[in-house]
Amino acid sequence: MQLDKAIKSRRSIRKYKSLSPNWKDILEAIDSARYAPMAGNVFTLNFMLVDDKEKIEKIAVLSSQQFISEAKYLVLFLTDPSRTINAFGEVDGDKFCKQQAGAAIQNFLLKIEESELSTCWIGLFNERKIKQLLKIPEKYNIEALFPIGVAGEIPKDRNLRELDNFLHFNTFSNRRMKEIKKPEGRYPEGFK
């Protein structure tokens, strides 16, 4: 799949078929996260793949998002911010840890899309209780959860606003890349 197509066709899917995804595709998607840029090349991520049905059901309850329980697999992105905090201090270290998790997650999402699997970024969940359930050591944060399945729905078209609304040139609110200067004198034919 072309990169542009994967970027544009990726959507959050919240209904999954009973078909089981190929776990090798999921591992490949997780592996792609390792290639994301990391501040100072300090790698802060860990990953967990869960296929235990009971655990997935408990996590759906602990996230108050029932659709998660339909997924055959769940991937967790974990971070250890102490590593970037040691390298860059509290404020930048914490920020970099979150930013590089986001970059790694996008690699993962695009590989999931390329494999024609579906997922939804889950950011709302009871982190403390899920950490207990999965025996995740205290120092790790759960950045996000990803139920993985075969799409069982077609999402509504998204309402993307045009780039012009968010793009500035040189100064905030300047929407034009270059001042267009009309030539002096008589305009050539077709020039307004």
Ligand X SMILES: Cc1cc2nc3c(=O)[nH]c(=O)nc-3n(C[C@H](O)[C@H](O)[C@H](O)COP(=O)(O)O)c2cc1C
Give the interface with ligand X as residue ranges (CB under 6 A).
11-12, 14, 65, 120-124, 155, 158
Rounded to an integer, what distance in angstroms lies between the CA atom of residue 67 and that of residue 61? 10
Query: Minimum Å distance from CB 172 to ligand X?
Result: 24
Query: Minimum Å distance from CB 145 to ligand X?
Result: 8
- Total residue length of the chain: 192
Amino acid at 147: P
Q: In this structure, are residues 99 and 45 in contact, taking their beta carbons and an 8 Å threshold?
A: no
Tell me whether residue 70 or residue 87 sits nearer to ligand X (CB atom). Answer: 70
Query: Minimum Å distance from CB 150 to ligand X?
Result: 16
- For the chain, the C-alpha Rg in angstroms (whole number) is 22
Query: Minimum Å distance from CB 123 to ligand X?
Result: 3
Q: In this structure, are residues 34 and 142 in contact, taking their beta carbons and an 8 Å threshold?
A: no
Q: Is 129 exposed, middle or buried (0-12, 13-18, 19+ CB in 10 A)?
A: middle
Tell me whether residue 11 or residue 55 sits nearer to ligand X (CB atom). Answer: 11
Tell me whether residue 15 or residue 87 sits nearer to ligand X (CB atom). Answer: 15
Tell me whether residue 27 or residue 124 sits nearer to ligand X (CB atom). Answer: 124
Closest of 59, 64, 77, 66 to residue 121, by C-alpha? 77
Query: Minimum Å distance from CB 30 to ligand X?
Result: 18
Query: Minimum Å distance from CB 149 to ligand X?
Result: 14
End-to-end CA, the chain:
42
Query: What are the backbone angles phi and psi of residue 142, rounded to the nearest 5°?
Result: -95, 115
Which single residue brings its beta carbon nearest to ligand X? Answer: 123
Tell me whether residue 12 or residue 22 sits nearer to ligand X (CB atom). Answer: 12
Tell me whether residue 89 or residue 123 sits nearer to ligand X (CB atom). Answer: 123
